[in-house]
Amino acid sequence: AQSVAQPEDQVNVAEGNPLTVKCTYSVSGNPYLFWYVQYPNRGLQFLLKYITGDNLVKGSYGFEAEFNKSQTSFHLKKPSALVSDSALYFCAVRDSADKLIFGTGTRLQVFP
Amino acid sequence: KAGVTQTPRYLIKTRGQQVTLSCSPISGHRSVSWYQQTPGQGLQFLFEYFSETQRNKGNFPGRFSGRQFSNSRSEMNVSTLELGDSALYLCASSLAGSYTDTQYFGPGTRLTVL
């Protein structure tokens, strides 16, 4: 069965520093991976996805993610964090029935 | 293009009642999926509709049901509400629900069961 793991419940980073939110996956077949962000009392906003091709995927709001097949990882990154990036981040994988399987989420806190 | 809209945004019900939530997908999107988000269980898939047919279903009891109309709008219904049904219910739409499609989410309906 497809699954994703987000090993960190919370990530703290100072504004202006680079940030990384980790995600590892387990799939049979090709992985189709997604990152979403959720602000308080809001739905999920799509950031980026990996379907095939270049291992470095660029997305919205300056975020990017690196797909690493050997390590089965799809970590979300941003070179310089903003206080406004503070939110809940979800990694997800598309399973064989086309539904999204989500990780447990990582709360990102960016301090001024 | 307008995003996914969900109504109502907030709902308070009592145990035993039933509730209907509505979702309007992005124009041109034919696939609508529903998810339940709770602090304890996280985000869980409820079901997916495509062209008025339920194509996938998650592991939820039969009290949870849904339907899709010819204009792709979708409703989900929960009957005989239980306290544990309190959650944020999210609707997502995509073009055709294929592997590579992106699902775009609405703001959700916050259901509180008293």
User: How sure is the predictor about B60, in pLDDT bands with cuts at 50, 70 and 90?
Assistant: very high
User: How sure is the predictor about B96, in pLDDT bands with cuts at 50, 70 and 90?
Assistant: confident
CA distance B103 to chain A (A): 8
Q: What is residue A70's predicted lDDT score, i.e. its pLDDT? A: 94
Percent of chain A with pLDDT over 90: 81
Classify the phi-psi angles of A98: left when phi > 0, otherwise alpha if psi is within -120 to 50, otherwise beta.
Answer: left
pLDDT of A86 higher than 90: yes
Q: What is residue B77's predicted lDDT score, i.e. its pLDDT? A: 98
pLDDT of B97 higher than 80: no
Q: What is residue A4's predicted lDDT score, i.e. its pLDDT? A: 95
Q: Which of residues 24-83 of A touch B (CB under 8 A)?
A: 32, 34, 36, 41-46, 49, 51
Sole residue written with tokens 């009642």: B17
User: How sure is the predictor about B84, in pLDDT bands with cuts at 50, 70 and 90?
Assistant: very high
- The verdict on a CB contact (< 8 Å) between A36 and B105 is yes
Are residues A92 and A98 in contact, defined by beta-carbon separation less than 8 angstroms?
no
Q: Distance between CA atoms of B78 and B112, rounded to whole angstroms?
A: 12
Q: What is residue A2's predicted lDDT score, i.e. its pLDDT? A: 84
Strands B87-94 and B104-105: antiparallel
Count of CA atoms in the C-beta half-sphere (13 A) of B111: 30
Are residues A20 and A77 in contact, defined by beta-carbon separation less than 8 angstroms?
yes
Interface test with A, best of B23, B36, B43, B112 (most A CBs within 10 A): B43
Length in residues, chain A: 112
| Mean pLDDT of the B16-21 span | 98
| CA torsion through residues A11, A74, B41, B39, sign | positive
CA distance B48 to chain A (A): 8
| SS3 (DSSP) at A97 | coil
| Mean pLDDT of the A81-100 span | 91
The per-residue pLDDT of chain B, averaged, comes to 95
Q: What is residue A14's predicted lDDT score, i.e. its pLDDT? A: 98
User: How sure is the predictor about B100, in pLDDT bands with cuts at 50, 70 and 90?
Assistant: confident
| Mean pLDDT of the A48-69 span | 94
User: How sure is the predictor about A74, in pLDDT bands with cuts at 50, 70 and 90?
Assistant: very high
Q: What is residue A41's predicted lDDT score, i.e. its pLDDT? A: 78
Other CB atoms within a 10 A radius of the CB of residue A61 amount to 12
User: How sure is the predictor about B2, in pLDDT bands with cuts at 50, 70 and 90?
Assistant: confident
Count of CA atoms in the C-beta half-sphere (13 A) of A52: 5
